[in-house]
Amino acid sequence: MTQQRRVILEELQKLDSHPTADEVYERARRRLPRISLGTVYRNLEILSECGLIQKLELGGTQKRFDGRVENHCHVRCIRCGCISDVPMAPLTTIENRLRGTSDYEIIGSRLEFIGVCPQCKKEH
């Protein structure tokens, strides 16, 4: 657990904005000016493998990272691309229904909602 790794983890837990690797880098740089982007990527990978953070593969070109690891889903704003949490029970019912009909062994699911965030609704 290096300084860099700790700072990255702390910044991620502090935020609820689901930042991209780049945004994490910018934040970490305020505390460790010499940190490199490569280090940020490497640590985001390691931390998500350890289950300390979550790597999100939602729509859009960049991956995003989440300091919250409990099972929850996300809404993405179609206008500005921002992401928020949605408190929602896991979809066990739907997964189980699929288990009955699919040839696949079902492990889990990923649910993302698409919408317009309050901010963008106002501006529109």
Give, rounded to a whole angstrom, the gap between the first and last alpha carbons of the chain: 45
Residues 48-67 that bind DNA (CB under 7 A): 61-63
Q: Is 59 in the site for its own copies (CB under 8 A)?
A: yes
d(CA 82, CA 3): 29
- Which stretch in 5-13, 17-25, 42-50, 116-124 sits in contact with its own copies by CB under 8 A? 116-124
d(CA 73, CA 70): 10
- Which stretch in 16-24, 29-37, 64-72, 114-122 sits in contact with its own copies by CB under 8 A? 114-122
Q: Is 45 in the site for its own copies (CB under 8 A)?
A: no
Q: Is 38 in the site for DNA (CB under 7 A)?
A: yes
Instruction: Quote the tokens at residue 44.
Output: 């985001």
Q: Do the beta carbons of residue 19 and residue 27 sit within 8 Å?
A: yes
Residue 110's binding partner among DNA, its own copies, none (Cβ under 5 to 8 angstroms by kind) is its own copies
Cβ-based neighbours of 116, under 8 Å, separated by 6 or more? 77, 78, 79, 124
C-beta of 49: minimal distance to DNA in Å? 10
> Of 83, 85, 57, 69, whose CA–CA distance to 9 is shortest?
69
Q: Is 44 in the site for its own copies (CB under 8 A)?
A: no
Q: Which residues bind its own copies (CB under 8 A)?
A: 57-60, 75, 77-78, 84, 86-88, 91, 94-95, 98, 101-118, 121
